[in-house]
Amino acid sequence: MIRVLIAAASSVIRAGLESILRSSPNIEVAGGAADFESLPAAVEREQPDVILVDLDFPHDRLPRALLGPAAVVVLVSGPEAPWMAEALRSGVRGVLPRDAASHELIAAIEAAASGLVALHPGDLNTLLPTPRFVPVETGEALTPRELEIFSMIAEGAGNKTIAWKLGISEHTVKFHVASILGKLNASSRTEAVAIGIRRGLIML
């Protein structure tokens, strides 16, 4: 059984959250708190496994206000990425929008109680960094012939096999391979294939 303490400034919100949590057979509501000042005492008294927080608060107060071993799940209107990242580093285990569905809320609490981190999918784009790997347009593009040879390299074909299949000389194949490695800034065929997969040049 997961003991959850609800912290919400509004008694209506507390009652609504309590109703949602009581619908789960795995959750026991272990009291509540109406503000940050009374929260530490409630945590000490009830010893919850998870603290569910829905308060109007300055974002920078959250990490300092919530102390102790309990996992913390926060309901917010629209967290900004820097604050969310700092909250997660400080030990918060879940951040959900206030309008999250009942099953999402219960799942987040169960995940937090298990030591996992729960985030709403809509918040991931604001939290995750920009992907490091980008298409080849940042460098010189491979020619159609190089792409053809590159696909054979990815299949494990050697220079002799590629030359035979394409009806060209092995010397020409070596020239194309060197060009491919240079354009992808790769030191080996294996590294080139890995880069090609990341950039979408090779379809698995």
* Statement: residue 189 has pLDDT above 80: yes
User: 88 versus 2: which is more confidently predicted?
Assistant: 2
CA distances from 99 to 77, 104, 118 (A): 8, 10, 15
The reported pLDDT for the residue numbered 84 is 73
* Statement: residue 60 has pLDDT above 60: no
The reported pLDDT for the residue numbered 87 is 72
Range with the lowest mean pLDDT among 16-20, 66-70, 165-169, 182-186?
A: 66-70
In whole angstroms, give the CA distance from residue 85 to residue 145.
45
Kindly indicate the confidence band of residue 5, based on its pLDDT and cuts at 50, 70 and 90.
Answer: very high
pTM strictly above 0.85: no
Closest CA to 32 of 60, 3, 56: 3
- In the chain, the domains with their CATH numbers are 2-127 (3.40.50.2300), 136-198 (1.10.10.10)
Kindly indicate the confidence band of residue 50, based on its pLDDT and cuts at 50, 70 and 90.
Answer: very high
Q: Is 44:22 a contact under the CB 8 Å cutoff?
A: no
User: 62 versus 189: which is more confidently predicted?
Assistant: 189
Q: Compute the C-alpha angle 118/7/73, nearest 5°.
A: 5
In whole angstroms, give the CA distance from residue 145 to residue 24.
60
- For residue 200, with 0-12 CB atoms within 10 Å meaning exposed, 13-18 middle and 19 or more buried, which class applies? exposed
- For residue 33, with 0-12 CB atoms within 10 Å meaning exposed, 13-18 middle and 19 or more buried, which class applies? buried
Range with the lowest mean pLDDT among 33-37, 57-61, 76-80, 117-121?
A: 57-61
Kindly indicate the confidence band of residue 134, based on its pLDDT and cuts at 50, 70 and 90.
Answer: very low
Kindly indicate the confidence band of residue 79, based on its pLDDT and cuts at 50, 70 and 90.
Answer: low
Kindly indicate the confidence band of residue 57, based on its pLDDT and cuts at 50, 70 and 90.
Answer: low
Kindly indicate the confidence band of residue 111, based on its pLDDT and cuts at 50, 70 and 90.
Answer: very high
How many CB atoms sit inside 10 A of residue 176's CB?
21
